[in-house]
């Protein structure tokens, strides 16, 4: 990498301007990009693979790919769309590996339903958030990805469609279906469901 004249000190620099500097192998610009996207990517990939250590490794690999493939970026799309796409591909690859490992080890036989998990869960010892995290984790991959991009990353439907490379109508359908599945899966947790239906989840403490 080459350290340039220190132009990108301005935190107001846009993502596309940053990418132009990175395409010229500017080390400082790349450092700013990492700082700008690292937490967003962790909250995206971390919610998909649900393993923080693996998520960090995947994000590190994402940034390496961003740098290595910097010349392939074209300003037709938002920089964030391009970055999310790279991260998503890596996360999907990780999920496929896990799925294969799970089938090879026959662990899928032991999988429990949401109702079984709810019966075993000691609600008094748990707050609402881990239960919701688990419910999100148990969503089918396509629905989970769309849901996380919408409700955690807060991307507009159009950008989600570009990241997932599907029509906007498909994005609408997947997000609606994801919320519907979550609603059904959280029903066994009657107390939570009751509180959820009142729309004040962030204040709940189940004691």
128-137 and 168-185 helices, crossing angle to 10°? 130
79 contacts another protein (rule: CB under 8 A): no
48 contacts another protein (rule: CB under 8 A): no
- x/- binding map, residues 114-153, to another protein, per CB under 8 A? --------------xx--xx--x----------xx-xxx-
Give CA torsion, residues 123, 192, 52, 156, to 10 deg. Answer: 180
- The smaller minimum CB distance to another protein, of residues 93 and 176, is found at 176
- The smaller minimum CB distance to another protein, of residues 24 and 64, is found at 64
Comparing C-alpha atoms, which of 76, 62, 41 is closest to residue 155? 41
43 contacts another protein (rule: CB under 8 A): yes
- Report the sign of the C-alpha dihedral through residues 170, 162, 130, 138, in that order: positive
Residue 154, phi-psi category: left (phi > 0), alpha (psi -120 to 50), beta (remainder): left
Choose which of 60, 85, 121, 126 interacts with another protein (CB under 8 A): 60
Helical spans, DSSP H, in the chain: 15-23, 27-49, 52-68, 79-104, 114-120, 128-137, 141-147, 157-164, 168-185, 190-198
200 contacts another protein (rule: CB under 8 A): yes
- The smaller minimum CB distance to another protein, of residues 102 and 201, is found at 201
Neighbouring residues of 195: CB distance < 8 A, sequence distance ≥ 6? 128, 201, 204
Counting residues that bind another protein (by CB under 8 A) gives 51
Q: How far is the CB of 59 from another protein (least distance, A)?
A: 7
- x/- binding map, residues 167-196, to another protein, per CB under 8 A? -----xx-xx--xx-xx--x--------xx
54 contacts another protein (rule: CB under 8 A): no
First to last CA, the chain: 54
168-185 and 157-164 helices, crossing angle to 10°? 100
Residues at the contact surface with another protein, assessed by CB under 8 A: 1, 27, 30-31, 34-35, 38-39, 42-43, 46-47, 52, 55-56, 59-60, 63-64, 67-68, 128-129, 132-133, 136, 147-148, 150-152, 154, 156-157, 172-173, 175-176, 179-180, 182-183, 186, 195-202
């Amino acid at each position: 990498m080459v350290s340039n004249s220190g132009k990108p000190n301005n935190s107001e620099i846009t993502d596309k301007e940053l990418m132009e500097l990175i395409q010229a192998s500017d080390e400082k610009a790349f450092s700013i990009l990492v700082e700008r996207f690292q937490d967003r990517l962790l909250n995206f990939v971390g919610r998909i693979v649900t393993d923080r250590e693996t998520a960090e490794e995947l994000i590190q690999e994402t940034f390496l790919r961003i740098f290595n493939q910097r010349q392939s970026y074209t300003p037709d799309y938002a920089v964030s769309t391009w970055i999310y796409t790279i991260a998503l591909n890596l996360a999907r690859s990780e999920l496929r590996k896990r799925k294969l490992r799970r089938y090879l080890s026959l662990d899928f036989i032991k999988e429990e339903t949401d109702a079984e998990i709810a019966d075993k869960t000691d609600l008094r010892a748990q707050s609402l958030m881990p239960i919701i995290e688990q419910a999100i984790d148990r969503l089918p991959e396509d629905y989970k990805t769309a849901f996380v991009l919408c409700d955690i990353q807060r991307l507009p439907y159009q950008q989600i469609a570009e990241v997932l490379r599907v029509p906007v109508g498909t994005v609408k359908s997947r997000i609606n279906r994801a919320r519907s599945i979550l609603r059904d899966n959280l029903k066994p947790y009657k107390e939570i469901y009751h509180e959820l239906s009142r729309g004040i989840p962030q204040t709940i403490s189940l004691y």
